[in-house]
Structure 1
Protein backbone atom coordinates (compact mmCIF):
# COMPACT_ATOMS: atom_id res chain seq x y z
CA UNK A 1 0.00 0.00 0.00
CA UNK A 2 1.25 3.50 -0.86
CA UNK A 3 2.67 5.21 2.26
CA UNK A 4 0.46 8.31 1.83
CA UNK A 5 -2.67 6.19 1.44
CA UNK A 6 -1.64 4.12 4.46
CA UNK A 7 -1.27 7.27 6.58
CA UNK A 8 -4.70 8.49 5.47
CA UNK A 9 -6.28 5.14 6.36
CA UNK A 10 -4.61 5.13 9.81
CA UNK A 11 -5.71 8.71 10.48
CA UNK A 12 -9.24 7.78 9.44
CA UNK A 13 -9.35 4.87 11.88
CA UNK A 14 -7.95 7.06 14.67
CA UNK A 15 -10.57 9.73 14.02
CA UNK A 16 -13.34 7.13 14.02
CA UNK A 17 -12.00 5.69 17.28
CA UNK A 18 -12.00 9.12 18.95
CA UNK A 19 -15.55 9.84 17.77
CA UNK A 20 -16.86 6.45 18.90
CA UNK A 21 -15.08 6.72 22.24
CA UNK A 22 -16.70 10.08 22.84
CA UNK A 23 -20.13 8.72 22.01
CA UNK A 24 -19.73 5.66 24.24
CA UNK A 25 -18.37 7.65 27.17
CA UNK A 26 -21.62 9.61 27.41
CA UNK A 27 -24.15 7.18 25.99
CA UNK A 28 -25.36 5.65 29.25
CA UNK A 29 -25.62 8.82 31.32
CA UNK A 30 -29.39 9.08 31.63
CA UNK A 31 -29.93 11.59 34.41
CA UNK A 32 -28.10 14.69 35.67
CA UNK A 33 -26.44 14.75 39.06
CA UNK A 34 -29.23 16.97 40.38
CA UNK A 35 -31.64 14.06 39.93
CA UNK A 36 -29.67 11.62 42.09
CA UNK A 37 -28.54 14.14 44.69
CA UNK A 38 -31.76 13.96 46.71
CA UNK A 39 -32.64 12.00 49.82
CA UNK A 40 -35.24 11.32 52.50
CA UNK A 41 -33.39 11.80 55.78
CA UNK A 42 -36.44 10.75 57.77
CA UNK A 43 -36.23 7.19 56.43
CA UNK A 44 -35.27 4.91 59.31
CA UNK A 45 -35.59 1.52 57.59
CA UNK A 46 -32.45 0.60 55.69
CA UNK A 47 -32.33 -1.46 52.50
CA UNK A 48 -32.13 -5.20 53.12
CA UNK A 49 -28.74 -6.47 51.89
CA UNK A 50 -28.93 -9.89 53.58
CA UNK A 51 -28.89 -11.84 50.30
CA UNK A 52 -25.66 -10.12 49.26
CA UNK A 53 -24.19 -10.85 52.69
CA UNK A 54 -25.11 -14.51 52.23
CA UNK A 55 -23.20 -14.63 48.92
CA UNK A 56 -20.15 -12.92 50.41
CA UNK A 57 -20.09 -15.20 53.43
CA UNK A 58 -20.21 -18.32 51.25
CA UNK A 59 -17.80 -17.38 48.48
CA UNK A 60 -15.46 -14.61 49.55
CA UNK A 61 -12.11 -15.93 50.77
CA UNK A 62 -11.05 -13.26 53.22
CA UNK A 63 -7.58 -12.17 54.18
CA UNK A 64 -6.20 -12.23 57.70
CA UNK A 65 -4.86 -9.06 59.29
CA UNK A 66 -5.11 -7.25 55.93
CA UNK A 67 -2.01 -9.12 54.67
CA UNK A 68 -3.64 -10.73 51.63
CA UNK A 69 -6.12 -10.02 48.88
CA UNK A 70 -9.74 -11.05 49.36
CA UNK A 71 -10.56 -13.57 46.63
CA UNK A 72 -13.91 -14.64 45.25
CA UNK A 73 -14.60 -18.30 44.55
CA UNK A 74 -16.51 -17.75 41.28
CA UNK A 75 -15.93 -21.32 40.11
CA UNK A 76 -17.92 -22.90 42.93
CA UNK A 77 -20.98 -20.66 43.09
CA UNK A 78 -23.97 -22.99 42.83
CA UNK A 79 -26.90 -22.48 40.48
CA UNK A 80 -29.15 -21.90 43.49
CA UNK A 81 -26.87 -19.18 44.82
CA UNK A 82 -26.62 -17.56 41.40
CA UNK A 83 -30.40 -17.28 41.53
CA UNK A 84 -30.19 -15.66 44.97
CA UNK A 85 -27.76 -13.07 43.62
CA UNK A 86 -30.04 -12.37 40.67
CA UNK A 87 -33.00 -11.99 43.03
CA UNK A 88 -31.03 -9.55 45.15
CA UNK A 89 -30.08 -7.43 42.16
CA UNK A 90 -33.65 -7.51 40.82
CA UNK A 91 -34.95 -6.37 44.21
CA UNK A 92 -32.43 -3.53 44.44
CA UNK A 93 -33.56 -2.28 41.05
CA UNK A 94 -37.14 -2.10 42.30
CA UNK A 95 -36.13 0.24 45.13
CA UNK A 96 -36.17 4.01 44.79
CA UNK A 97 -32.91 4.99 46.51
CA UNK A 98 -34.03 8.63 46.65
CA UNK A 99 -36.53 7.61 49.33
CA UNK A 100 -33.64 6.70 51.63
CA UNK A 101 -31.19 8.77 53.63
CA UNK A 102 -27.86 9.80 52.14
CA UNK A 103 -25.87 7.27 54.18
CA UNK A 104 -28.30 4.48 53.24
CA UNK A 105 -28.00 5.52 49.60
CA UNK A 106 -24.22 5.40 49.74
CA UNK A 107 -24.35 1.84 51.04
CA UNK A 108 -27.00 0.96 48.43
CA UNK A 109 -24.88 2.17 45.50
CA UNK A 110 -21.68 0.51 46.73
CA UNK A 111 -23.40 -2.85 47.29
CA UNK A 112 -25.18 -2.57 43.94
CA UNK A 113 -21.90 -1.86 42.12
CA UNK A 114 -20.07 -4.76 43.76
CA UNK A 115 -22.91 -7.25 43.33
CA UNK A 116 -23.32 -6.27 39.67
CA UNK A 117 -19.60 -6.83 39.14
CA UNK A 118 -19.71 -10.31 40.67
CA UNK A 119 -22.81 -11.09 38.61
CA UNK A 120 -21.01 -9.95 35.47
CA UNK A 121 -18.08 -12.29 36.12
CA UNK A 122 -20.38 -15.21 36.90
CA UNK A 123 -22.32 -14.64 33.67
CA UNK A 124 -19.08 -14.83 31.68
CA UNK A 125 -17.05 -17.30 33.73
CA UNK A 126 -14.44 -18.60 33.08
CA UNK A 127 -12.61 -15.38 32.19
CA UNK A 128 -9.04 -14.36 33.01
CA UNK A 129 -9.73 -10.67 33.50
CA UNK A 130 -12.70 -8.34 33.63
CA UNK A 131 -10.93 -6.29 30.96
CA UNK A 132 -11.72 -9.09 28.48
CA UNK A 133 -15.43 -8.29 28.81
CA UNK A 134 -17.41 -5.44 27.33
CA UNK A 135 -20.00 -5.19 24.58
CA UNK A 136 -18.97 -1.85 23.14
CA UNK A 137 -16.68 -1.36 20.17
CA UNK A 138 -13.08 -0.67 21.28
CA UNK A 139 -14.13 -1.21 24.91
CA UNK A 140 -11.58 -1.93 27.64
CA UNK A 141 -13.81 -3.85 30.00
CA UNK A 142 -17.57 -3.69 30.63
CA UNK A 143 -17.82 -0.48 32.64
CA UNK A 144 -19.79 1.47 30.03
CA UNK A 145 -22.22 -1.37 29.30
CA UNK A 146 -25.79 -1.12 30.57
CA UNK A 147 -25.82 -2.78 33.98
CA UNK A 148 -28.98 -1.82 35.89
CA UNK A 149 -32.21 0.14 35.62
CA UNK A 150 -32.96 2.33 38.64
CA UNK A 151 -36.05 4.55 38.72
CA UNK A 152 -36.53 3.77 35.05
CA UNK A 153 -33.04 5.06 34.18
CA UNK A 154 -30.43 2.79 32.63
CA UNK A 155 -27.07 2.94 34.37
CA UNK A 156 -23.65 1.47 33.70
CA UNK A 157 -21.06 0.67 36.34
CA UNK A 158 -19.26 3.85 35.31
CA UNK A 159 -22.46 5.84 35.84
CA UNK A 160 -22.83 4.46 39.36
CA UNK A 161 -19.24 5.24 40.29
CA UNK A 162 -18.48 8.43 38.37
CA UNK A 163 -21.89 10.06 37.97
CA UNK A 164 -23.31 9.20 41.41
CA UNK A 165 -20.90 7.97 44.08
CA UNK A 166 -17.89 10.18 43.39
CA UNK A 167 -19.60 13.52 42.68
CA UNK A 168 -22.29 13.27 45.35
CA UNK A 169 -20.16 12.09 48.27
CA UNK A 170 -16.80 13.51 47.13
CA UNK A 171 -14.96 11.06 49.35
CA UNK A 172 -11.74 9.45 48.05
CA UNK A 173 -12.46 6.41 50.22
CA UNK A 174 -15.10 5.43 47.63
CA UNK A 175 -12.20 3.97 45.66
CA UNK A 176 -11.53 1.53 48.51
CA UNK A 177 -15.15 0.35 48.50
CA UNK A 178 -16.05 -0.42 44.89
CA UNK A 179 -14.41 -3.57 43.58
CA UNK A 180 -13.41 -4.32 39.96
CA UNK A 181 -12.89 -8.09 40.38
CA UNK A 182 -9.10 -7.78 40.02
CA UNK A 183 -6.01 -8.47 42.11
CA UNK A 184 -4.97 -4.85 41.87
CA UNK A 185 -8.27 -3.54 43.20
CA UNK A 186 -9.05 -2.75 46.84
CA UNK A 187 -10.62 -5.70 48.63
CA UNK A 188 -14.23 -6.65 48.12
CA UNK A 189 -15.56 -6.14 51.64
CA UNK A 190 -16.58 -9.28 53.51
CA UNK A 191 -19.30 -7.24 55.20
CA UNK A 192 -22.09 -5.56 53.28
CA UNK A 193 -22.33 -1.80 53.52
CA UNK A 194 -25.27 -0.43 55.51
CA UNK A 195 -26.35 2.91 56.85
CA UNK A 196 -24.80 1.96 60.20
CA UNK A 197 -21.36 0.74 59.11
CA UNK A 198 -20.46 2.58 55.90
CA UNK A 199 -18.17 5.13 57.56
CA UNK A 200 -16.31 2.38 59.41
CA UNK A 201 -15.96 0.17 56.31
CA UNK A 202 -14.72 3.04 54.13
CA UNK A 203 -11.93 3.77 56.60
CA UNK A 204 -11.11 0.08 57.04
CA UNK A 205 -10.87 -0.28 53.27
CA UNK A 206 -8.43 2.64 53.07
CA UNK A 207 -6.21 1.16 55.79
CA UNK A 208 -6.25 -2.30 54.20
CA UNK A 209 -5.33 -1.11 50.71
CA UNK A 210 -2.75 1.52 51.55
CA UNK A 211 -0.90 -0.87 53.87
CA UNK A 212 -0.77 -3.64 51.27
CA UNK A 213 2.05 -3.67 48.66
CA UNK A 214 -0.42 -3.59 45.75
CA UNK A 215 -1.61 -0.23 47.09
CA UNK A 216 1.59 1.43 48.30
CA UNK A 217 5.23 0.41 48.68
CA UNK A 218 8.62 2.09 48.84
CA UNK A 219 11.25 0.36 46.71
CA UNK A 220 14.78 1.60 46.21
CA UNK A 221 13.88 5.14 47.17
CA UNK A 222 10.97 5.23 44.72
CA UNK A 223 7.28 5.16 45.51
CA UNK A 224 5.34 2.39 43.78
CA UNK A 225 1.59 2.85 44.07
CA UNK A 226 -1.64 1.67 42.52
CA UNK A 227 -2.69 3.21 39.22
CA UNK A 228 -5.91 4.22 40.98
CA UNK A 229 -3.98 7.19 42.33
CA UNK A 230 -3.13 8.23 38.77
CA UNK A 231 -6.52 7.58 37.17
CA UNK A 232 -8.36 9.56 39.86
CA UNK A 233 -5.66 11.97 40.95
CA UNK A 234 -8.17 14.80 41.38
CA UNK A 235 -9.87 12.82 44.16
CA UNK A 236 -6.62 12.68 46.13
CA UNK A 237 -5.66 16.34 45.85
CA UNK A 238 -4.31 16.40 42.29
CA UNK A 239 -0.65 16.78 43.27
CA UNK A 240 2.05 14.52 44.69
CA UNK A 241 2.19 16.11 48.13
CA UNK A 242 -1.58 15.98 48.66
CA UNK A 243 -1.59 12.34 47.59
CA UNK A 244 1.18 11.44 50.03
CA UNK A 245 -0.66 13.26 52.82
CA UNK A 246 -3.70 11.13 52.03
CA UNK A 247 -1.60 7.97 52.15
CA UNK A 248 0.00 8.98 55.45
CA UNK A 249 -3.44 9.45 57.00
CA UNK A 250 -4.11 5.70 56.73
CA UNK A 251 -0.56 4.28 56.73
CA UNK A 252 0.76 2.12 59.56
CA UNK A 253 3.68 3.67 61.52
CA UNK A 254 6.40 2.00 59.44
CA UNK A 255 4.91 3.00 56.10
CA UNK A 256 4.10 6.49 57.37
CA UNK A 257 7.74 7.03 58.32
CA UNK A 258 8.84 5.82 54.88
CA UNK A 259 6.42 8.25 53.24
CA UNK A 260 7.77 11.12 55.35
CA UNK A 261 11.31 10.25 54.24
CA UNK A 262 10.13 10.13 50.63
CA UNK A 263 8.66 13.61 51.01
CA UNK A 264 11.97 14.87 52.34
CA UNK A 265 13.99 13.22 49.58
CA UNK A 266 11.62 12.45 46.70
CA UNK A 267 12.33 9.73 44.19
CA UNK A 268 10.18 8.63 41.29
CA UNK A 269 6.51 7.73 41.59
CA UNK A 270 5.60 4.64 39.60
CA UNK A 271 2.10 3.30 39.02
CA UNK A 272 1.12 -0.36 38.75
CA UNK A 273 -2.08 -2.39 38.49
CA UNK A 274 -2.82 -6.12 38.28
CA UNK A 275 -5.91 -6.88 36.17
CA UNK A 276 -5.94 -10.64 36.82
CA UNK A 277 -9.28 -11.93 38.09
CA UNK A 278 -9.48 -11.97 41.89
CA UNK A 279 -10.06 -15.70 42.17
CA UNK A 280 -8.09 -18.44 43.97
CA UNK A 281 -5.25 -19.82 41.86
Structure 2
Protein backbone atom coordinates (compact mmCIF):
# COMPACT_ATOMS: atom_id res chain seq x y z
CA UNK A 1 0.00 0.00 0.00
CA UNK A 2 1.33 3.42 -0.94
CA UNK A 3 0.96 5.98 1.76
CA UNK A 4 -0.50 9.43 1.20
CA UNK A 5 2.63 10.79 2.89
CA UNK A 6 4.69 9.50 -0.02
CA UNK A 7 2.39 11.22 -2.50
CA UNK A 8 1.64 14.49 -0.77
CA UNK A 9 4.94 15.61 0.63
CA UNK A 10 5.22 19.37 1.03
CA UNK A 11 5.99 20.79 -2.43
CA UNK A 12 9.25 22.61 -3.06
CA UNK A 13 9.90 25.07 -5.85
CA UNK A 14 10.67 23.26 -9.09
CA UNK A 15 11.15 25.21 -12.28
CA UNK A 16 8.64 24.06 -14.88
CA UNK A 17 11.02 24.16 -17.88
CA UNK A 18 13.45 21.76 -16.18
CA UNK A 19 10.68 19.49 -14.91
CA UNK A 20 9.11 19.22 -18.34
CA UNK A 21 12.35 19.05 -20.31
CA UNK A 22 11.79 15.37 -21.12
CA UNK A 23 8.31 15.82 -22.56
CA UNK A 24 9.41 16.65 -26.14
CA UNK A 25 10.90 13.16 -26.38
CA UNK A 26 7.55 11.62 -25.48
CA UNK A 27 5.79 14.13 -27.73
CA UNK A 28 7.83 12.95 -30.70
CA UNK A 29 6.93 9.29 -30.11
CA UNK A 30 3.23 10.01 -29.64
CA UNK A 31 3.09 12.31 -32.66
CA UNK A 32 4.72 9.62 -34.80
CA UNK A 33 2.62 6.67 -33.70
CA UNK A 34 -0.76 7.96 -32.41
CA UNK A 35 -3.19 8.71 -35.23
CA UNK A 36 -6.78 9.99 -35.21
CA UNK A 37 -9.39 7.81 -36.86
CA UNK A 38 -12.46 9.11 -38.64
CA UNK A 39 -14.66 7.49 -35.96
CA UNK A 40 -13.19 9.80 -33.31
CA UNK A 41 -11.03 7.17 -31.59
CA UNK A 42 -7.26 7.69 -31.62
CA UNK A 43 -5.31 4.61 -32.69
CA UNK A 44 -1.70 3.54 -32.14
CA UNK A 45 0.59 2.23 -34.87
CA UNK A 46 1.82 -0.62 -32.70
CA UNK A 47 3.20 -2.67 -35.62
CA UNK A 48 5.22 0.27 -36.95
CA UNK A 49 6.45 1.18 -33.46
CA UNK A 50 7.47 -2.38 -32.64
CA UNK A 51 9.42 -2.55 -35.91
CA UNK A 52 11.39 0.60 -34.99
CA UNK A 53 14.15 -0.32 -32.49
CA UNK A 54 15.11 3.33 -32.03
CA UNK A 55 11.57 4.25 -31.00
CA UNK A 56 11.30 1.29 -28.63
CA UNK A 57 14.59 2.36 -27.04
CA UNK A 58 13.39 5.96 -26.84
CA UNK A 59 10.25 4.89 -24.96
CA UNK A 60 12.35 2.83 -22.53
CA UNK A 61 14.70 5.78 -22.03
CA UNK A 62 11.81 8.17 -21.37
CA UNK A 63 10.33 5.83 -18.75
CA UNK A 64 13.71 5.44 -17.04
CA UNK A 65 14.21 9.19 -16.99
CA UNK A 66 10.72 9.78 -15.61
CA UNK A 67 11.17 7.13 -12.92
CA UNK A 68 14.24 8.96 -11.66
CA UNK A 69 12.23 12.07 -10.86
CA UNK A 70 10.64 12.97 -7.51
CA UNK A 71 6.93 13.61 -8.13
CA UNK A 72 6.31 14.20 -4.42
CA UNK A 73 8.19 17.51 -4.79
CA UNK A 74 6.19 18.76 -7.75
CA UNK A 75 3.31 21.25 -7.78
CA UNK A 76 -0.10 19.66 -8.26
CA UNK A 77 -0.58 20.08 -12.01
CA UNK A 78 2.98 19.02 -12.75
CA UNK A 79 2.55 15.95 -10.57
CA UNK A 80 -0.74 15.08 -12.31
CA UNK A 81 0.91 15.35 -15.73
CA UNK A 82 3.88 13.29 -14.56
CA UNK A 83 1.74 10.38 -13.35
CA UNK A 84 -0.59 10.44 -16.36
CA UNK A 85 2.34 10.43 -18.79
CA UNK A 86 4.08 7.65 -16.90
CA UNK A 87 0.92 5.53 -16.83
CA UNK A 88 0.38 5.96 -20.56
CA UNK A 89 4.01 5.30 -21.43
CA UNK A 90 4.06 2.11 -19.34
CA UNK A 91 0.82 0.92 -20.96
CA UNK A 92 2.34 1.44 -24.39
CA UNK A 93 5.46 -0.46 -23.35
CA UNK A 94 3.43 -3.39 -22.02
CA UNK A 95 1.36 -3.65 -25.19
CA UNK A 96 4.36 -3.28 -27.49
CA UNK A 97 6.19 -6.06 -25.68
CA UNK A 98 3.22 -8.43 -26.10
CA UNK A 99 2.09 -7.28 -29.55
CA UNK A 100 0.35 -8.61 -31.57
CA UNK A 101 -2.63 -8.99 -29.23
CA UNK A 102 -6.32 -8.35 -29.82
CA UNK A 103 -6.88 -6.78 -26.41
CA UNK A 104 -4.81 -5.56 -23.49
CA UNK A 105 -6.85 -8.00 -21.40
CA UNK A 106 -5.03 -10.84 -23.19
CA UNK A 107 -1.87 -9.81 -21.33
CA UNK A 108 -1.81 -11.38 -17.89
CA UNK A 109 -0.40 -9.81 -14.74
CA UNK A 110 2.72 -11.48 -13.37
CA UNK A 111 4.33 -11.63 -9.96
CA UNK A 112 1.00 -11.49 -8.13
CA UNK A 113 -0.73 -14.09 -5.93
CA UNK A 114 -2.65 -16.79 -7.76
CA UNK A 115 -6.25 -15.81 -8.44
CA UNK A 116 -8.51 -18.84 -9.01
CA UNK A 117 -10.85 -16.67 -11.09
CA UNK A 118 -7.99 -15.58 -13.31
CA UNK A 119 -6.60 -12.08 -13.71
CA UNK A 120 -7.13 -10.51 -17.09
CA UNK A 121 -4.90 -7.63 -18.04
CA UNK A 122 -1.43 -6.46 -16.99
CA UNK A 123 -2.53 -3.91 -14.43
CA UNK A 124 -1.16 -5.67 -11.33
CA UNK A 125 2.36 -6.34 -12.63
CA UNK A 126 4.84 -4.09 -10.87
CA UNK A 127 6.58 -2.25 -13.67
CA UNK A 128 8.47 0.74 -12.35
CA UNK A 129 10.14 2.10 -9.22
CA UNK A 130 9.47 5.73 -8.30
CA UNK A 131 10.92 7.25 -5.15
CA UNK A 132 11.74 3.79 -3.84
CA UNK A 133 8.25 2.34 -4.44
CA UNK A 134 7.67 -0.48 -6.91
CA UNK A 135 4.44 0.32 -8.74
CA UNK A 136 1.93 -1.35 -11.05
CA UNK A 137 -0.49 0.41 -13.37
CA UNK A 138 -3.23 -0.26 -10.82
CA UNK A 139 -1.07 1.37 -8.14
CA UNK A 140 -0.55 4.48 -10.24
CA UNK A 141 -4.23 4.89 -11.05
CA UNK A 142 -5.96 3.70 -7.89
CA UNK A 143 -3.40 4.31 -5.15
CA UNK A 144 -1.77 7.44 -6.50
CA UNK A 145 -3.86 9.46 -8.93
CA UNK A 146 -7.44 8.89 -7.79
CA UNK A 147 -6.91 9.36 -4.04
CA UNK A 148 -4.35 12.15 -4.46
CA UNK A 149 -6.08 14.37 -7.00
CA UNK A 150 -9.71 13.42 -6.24
CA UNK A 151 -10.73 14.56 -9.69
CA UNK A 152 -12.95 12.66 -12.15
CA UNK A 153 -10.78 14.03 -14.95
CA UNK A 154 -8.15 11.45 -13.99
CA UNK A 155 -10.21 9.00 -16.03
CA UNK A 156 -9.73 11.06 -19.19
CA UNK A 157 -5.96 11.31 -18.68
CA UNK A 158 -4.99 7.63 -18.39
CA UNK A 159 -5.40 5.36 -21.39
CA UNK A 160 -5.87 1.58 -21.22
CA UNK A 161 -5.05 0.88 -24.90
CA UNK A 162 -8.69 0.08 -25.67
CA UNK A 163 -11.32 1.41 -28.05
CA UNK A 164 -13.68 2.04 -25.14
CA UNK A 165 -11.21 4.22 -23.25
CA UNK A 166 -10.87 8.00 -23.53
CA UNK A 167 -8.36 8.83 -26.25
CA UNK A 168 -4.62 8.60 -25.88
CA UNK A 169 -3.52 12.11 -26.86
CA UNK A 170 -0.84 12.54 -29.55
CA UNK A 171 1.11 14.76 -27.15
CA UNK A 172 2.30 14.43 -23.58
CA UNK A 173 0.30 16.01 -20.77
CA UNK A 174 1.97 19.08 -19.28
CA UNK A 175 1.17 21.41 -16.40
CA UNK A 176 0.99 24.59 -18.47
CA UNK A 177 -2.06 23.43 -20.46
CA UNK A 178 -3.40 20.71 -18.18
CA UNK A 179 -6.77 22.24 -17.25
CA UNK A 180 -7.72 23.07 -20.83
CA UNK A 181 -6.44 19.75 -22.20
CA UNK A 182 -8.30 17.69 -19.61
CA UNK A 183 -11.52 19.60 -20.23
CA UNK A 184 -11.15 19.02 -23.98
CA UNK A 185 -10.51 15.30 -23.41
CA UNK A 186 -13.61 15.00 -21.24
CA UNK A 187 -15.71 16.91 -23.76
CA UNK A 188 -14.53 14.67 -26.61
CA UNK A 189 -15.32 11.47 -24.74
CA UNK A 190 -18.67 12.47 -23.29
CA UNK A 191 -19.91 13.61 -26.70
CA UNK A 192 -18.71 10.48 -28.47
CA UNK A 193 -21.20 7.56 -28.62
CA UNK A 194 -18.90 5.38 -26.53
CA UNK A 195 -19.08 7.95 -23.73
CA UNK A 196 -22.81 8.66 -23.57
CA UNK A 197 -25.72 7.83 -25.87
CA UNK A 198 -29.33 8.89 -25.31
CA UNK A 199 -31.61 5.98 -26.15
CA UNK A 200 -35.02 6.43 -27.83
CA UNK A 201 -36.86 6.38 -24.50
CA UNK A 202 -34.61 9.09 -23.03
CA UNK A 203 -32.56 6.71 -20.89
CA UNK A 204 -28.80 6.44 -21.29
CA UNK A 205 -26.19 3.99 -22.40
CA UNK A 206 -22.90 5.12 -20.87
CA UNK A 207 -19.30 3.99 -20.85
CA UNK A 208 -18.63 1.48 -18.10
CA UNK A 209 -16.12 3.81 -16.44
CA UNK A 210 -19.11 5.77 -15.14
CA UNK A 211 -20.35 2.60 -13.44
CA UNK A 212 -17.03 1.16 -12.30
CA UNK A 213 -15.92 4.48 -10.80
CA UNK A 214 -19.28 6.06 -9.94
CA UNK A 215 -17.84 7.32 -6.66
CA UNK A 216 -15.54 9.62 -8.67
CA UNK A 217 -18.48 11.08 -10.59
CA UNK A 218 -20.61 12.19 -7.66
CA UNK A 219 -21.36 8.75 -6.19
CA UNK A 220 -24.87 8.46 -7.63
CA UNK A 221 -26.55 8.01 -10.99
CA UNK A 222 -27.66 11.63 -10.77
CA UNK A 223 -24.06 12.65 -10.15
CA UNK A 224 -22.93 10.84 -13.29
CA UNK A 225 -25.65 12.53 -15.34
CA UNK A 226 -24.69 15.93 -13.91
CA UNK A 227 -21.08 15.27 -14.91
CA UNK A 228 -22.15 14.32 -18.43
CA UNK A 229 -24.29 17.45 -18.73
CA UNK A 230 -21.33 19.65 -17.70
CA UNK A 231 -19.38 18.35 -20.67
CA UNK A 232 -22.23 17.86 -23.14
CA UNK A 233 -22.16 19.83 -26.38
CA UNK A 234 -25.44 21.50 -27.39
CA UNK A 235 -26.65 18.53 -29.47
CA UNK A 236 -26.25 16.11 -26.57
CA UNK A 237 -27.31 18.59 -23.88
CA UNK A 238 -30.62 19.16 -25.65
CA UNK A 239 -31.50 15.47 -25.29
CA UNK A 240 -29.86 14.73 -21.94
CA UNK A 241 -32.41 15.34 -19.20
CA UNK A 242 -31.18 16.04 -15.65
CA UNK A 243 -33.29 13.11 -14.41
CA UNK A 244 -32.22 10.71 -17.16
CA UNK A 245 -31.93 7.07 -16.08
CA UNK A 246 -28.83 5.04 -16.90
CA UNK A 247 -30.22 1.92 -18.55
CA UNK A 248 -26.98 0.19 -19.49
CA UNK A 249 -23.24 0.52 -19.71
CA UNK A 250 -20.75 -0.79 -22.25
CA UNK A 251 -17.02 -0.89 -22.89
CA UNK A 252 -15.06 -2.05 -25.94
CA UNK A 253 -11.86 -3.81 -24.84
CA UNK A 254 -10.59 -4.17 -28.42
CA UNK A 255 -7.04 -2.90 -28.83
CA UNK A 256 -6.76 0.68 -30.10
CA UNK A 257 -4.64 -0.62 -32.94
CA UNK A 258 -4.24 1.41 -36.13
CA UNK A 259 -3.75 -1.83 -38.08
CA UNK A 260 -7.18 -3.09 -36.99
CA UNK A 261 -8.96 0.10 -38.10
CA UNK A 262 -9.99 1.14 -41.56
CA UNK A 263 -10.19 4.53 -43.20
TM-score, length-scaled by structure 2: 0.90
Residues 208-252 of structure 1: CA deviation (Å, up to 9, x unaligned): 100000110012223100000000000001111111111000000
Structure 1 residues 219-230: aligned runs within 5 Å: 219-221=199-201, 222-230=203-211
Q: Which runs of 5+ in 1 are unaligned?
A: 1-28
**How many angstroms apart in 1 are the aligned matches of 2:122 and 2:224?**
28
8 A Cα contact 1:39 1:102, kept in partner? no
Q: 1:191 to 1:39 in 2, by over 3 A?
A: farther
Q: Which runs of 5+ in 2 are unaligned?
A: none
8 A Cα contact 2:67 2:128, kept in partner? yes
Which residue, out of 124, 130, 141, partners 1:150? 130
The match for 1:25 is: none
**How many angstroms apart in 2 are the aligned matches of 1:268 and 1:151?**
42
The match for 1:74 is: 46
8 A Cα contact 2:221 2:245, kept in partner? no
Per the alignment, in what secondary structure is the counterpart of residue 175 of structure 2? coil
- Whether 2:8 is the aligned partner of 1:34: answer no
Q: Which runs of 4+ in 1 moved over 6 A?
A: none
Higher helix share: 1
- Whether 2:169 is the aligned partner of 1:198: answer no
**How many angstroms apart in 2 are the aligned matches of 1:195 and 1:254?**
31
The match for 1:43 is: 14
Residues 108-135 of structure 1: CA deviation (Å, up to 9, x unaligned): 0000000000000001000110011122
The match for 1:7 is: none
Q: How many residues align?
A: 247
The match for 1:235 is: 216
- Quote the offset at 1:200 in angstroms: 1.2
Residues 122-158 of structure 1: CA deviation (Å, up to 9, x unaligned): 0100011001112244212111110110012100101
Q: Which deviates further from its counterpart, 115-124 or 139-148?
A: 139-148
The match for 1:17 is: none
